[in-house]
Amino acid sequence: MDTFTYRYPVAVYFGEKAAEKNLPAELAKVGENVLLAYGGGSIKRNGVYEELMGLLTAAGKTVTEFSGIMSNPTYAKVQEGARLARENHIDFILAVGGGSVIDCCKVVSAQAKTDEDLWELETVKHGGPAGLIPMGAVVTAFGTGAEMNNGAVITNEEKKVKGPLWGAFYDFAILDPAYTMTMPMGQVISGAFDALSHCMETYMGSPRGTNLSDEINEACQRNIIRNLRATLRDPQDIAARSELVWAAAMGENGILKIGKVTDFQAHMLEHQLGAYTDCNHGRGLAVIHPVLYCHMLPEAAPQFARLAVNVWDVDPAGKTENELADAFIKMLAAFIEEIGLPTTFAQMGIPADTDFQAVADSTVLTGGCCKRFTREELLTVLHECQ
């Protein structure tokens, strides 16, 4: 294990009726003016909006709504939320939704507290906001674990960049698995695969030998695989859904990253693909991962081999390390097909004339990856994904 300091600021309220039991006490700690943020309106159809508005009203809060946050939140949407926060003197943000809503609000909390352009401030001047609006999250769609950190993935349409910005940590996160039961099954599958991807990308970082963080990670990966299969057999299996919700949070609450420098090259490549195509994140990762991992195999064989045995139950008897590593990639690819995710960009509807060169040229090259990819190699990966 590398040297580390672990401290975590997010209080997690997990389980049935977690909002009813815990939100009133949390709202009593914050000011009167609350920004209620959500996406396309599904919370109004499934009853979550009515429940939360009742709790906000009972707490004596004045509510400003910030709706329409899209699946790949844009920098323009961030600015809209920041303007609302300033104009209405917002004291607290309650983000209700999945990773997109939760990410967007992290940056709103920061942009609302500075007169400078946050993108310029963070990416060019390498500074940060003077303050942040406190926030709480109510998770209704799982996958990214976004409620567990202060990083956000935002699409700057003007710059053609989908990349990280940094804002506030959530003071608390409410994870009631019942809130996720109305998620479309395609979104459940995509979100669960994103959670699996987060685990794999953390695992593939350094140190590369056996360590406690990676052994916990292996358990999380097995959990996601088992419970996604259970969910596909019975979409109303609340026990399986509960496991998936917590596994997604585990992927980003820092525990799996203790003593690690992470990889996330697949994520960086998919982010830039999203900047040019607005594609679904989990589906893009499903296409990219096996192809990228084939290119990583010579350098990543020891870790791939451990995943084959410890996560995918491949019998190691009579197999070389490279054979086990190859078996891991094949098992992952077969699982992607089994759960109904795409295996090519064509299946995702991504046009063949997409500017893949621009995608590769603008992708962040991650330092934690066991293979240091060149942009030419990433371009080859993208072409092989077609």
- 37 and 118: one domain? yes
For 228-247, the pLDDT digits (tens) are 999 999 999 999 999 999 99
CA distance 368 to 203: 10
Indicate if 212 and 157 belong to the same structural domain. no
Q: Is residue 42 part of a domain?
A: yes
329 and 293 together in one domain: yes
CA distance to 60, 90, 93, 267, 332, per residue, from 50 (Å): 15, 21, 17, 35, 41
In a domain? residue 3: no
When pLDDT is averaged across residues 329-343 and rounded to a whole number, the result is 98
Q: How does pLDDT run across 129-175, given as a tens digit for each residue?
A: 889 999 999 999 998 899 999 999 999 999 999 999 999 999 999 99
Domain edge (last residue) among 179, 212, 247:
179
Q: Does residue 211 share a domain with residue 80?
A: no
The domain that holds 354 is classified in CATH as 1.20.1090.10
Per-residue pLDDT reduced to its tens digit, 43-92: 999 999 999 999 999 999 999 999 999 999 999 999 999 999 999 999 99
Q: Provide the pLDDT confidence category of residue 1 given band limits of 50, 70 and 90.
A: low
Give strand pairing partners of 173: 12, 137
Is 5 a member of any domain? no
Give the end of a domain, one of 120, 145, 179. 179
> What percentage of the chain exceeds 90 in pLDDT?
95
Q: Which residues of 252-291 are buried (b: 16+ CB within 10 A; e: fewer)?
A: bbbbbbbebebbbbbbbbbbbbbbbbebbbbbbbbbbbbb
For residues 171 and 191, state if they share a domain. Answer: no
More confident call, 8 vs 157:
157
Instruction: Give the count of domains, the chain.
Output: 2
Same-domain check for residues 356 and 217: yes
State pTM to two decimals. 0.94
Domain CATH number, residue 109: 3.40.50.1970
* Residue 15 maps to a domain: yes
Chosen domain end from 161, 179, 197: 179
CA distance 32 to 59: 9
Q: What is the pLDDT of residue 41?
A: 85
Look at the alpha carbons of 165, 169, 170, 174 in this order and tell me if their dihedral is positive or negative.
Answer: positive
Exposed/middle/buried for 23, CB within 10 Å: 0-12, 13-18, 19+?
buried
